[in-house]
Amino acid sequence: MSLDKQQVVLNIRFKTKPGKKEEFRTQLSSLIQVMSVEKAFISAILSDDLDQPNDLVIYEIWEGTRESWLQEEFTKPYRKEYEGTLGELIEDRMVSWLEPKGEWGSTLRAK
């Protein structure tokens, strides 16, 4: 992670509806594939919560600020379609906006 440029992190916890976790994971993974080619995209990590079996957590790093992300990324047409599916798949979504200040050991190996 280069901290030379302004970056913003979205840490989003999704509480999926019972029996909908894998369907939601598929939808979210498709969204990640599309957004990963955006110019401001840096990385994303999708995780299961070991203590909350219906929860998925995504950690996204973007170049820019919260304001630039909301103005430029949230308004993308593919996000509108994705947002339209959420009511059927999740019970709740909690978003934390973070500003990175340091990084150590970026060698995650996902399955």
Helix or strand holding residue 7 (H, E): strand 7-16
Q: Which domain holds residue 77?
A: 11-92
Q: Which residues contact 52 (CB under 8 A, 6 or more apart)?
A: 15
- Residue 1: per-residue pLDDT: 47
What's the total number of domains in the chain?
1
Do the domain assignments include residue 46? yes
Residue that wins the pLDDT comparison between 66 and 111: 66
CATH code at position 20: 3.30.70.100
Do the domain assignments include residue 107? no
Q: Burial level of 20, CB count in 10 A (0-12/13-18/19+)?
A: middle
Percent of the chain with pLDDT strictly greater than 90: 77
Do the domain assignments include residue 32? yes
Segment 92-104 mean pLDDT: 92
pLDDT digits (tens, 9 = 90+) for 25-57: 999 999 999 999 999 999 999 999 999 999 999
Do the domain assignments include residue 5? no
Segment 101-111 mean pLDDT: 68
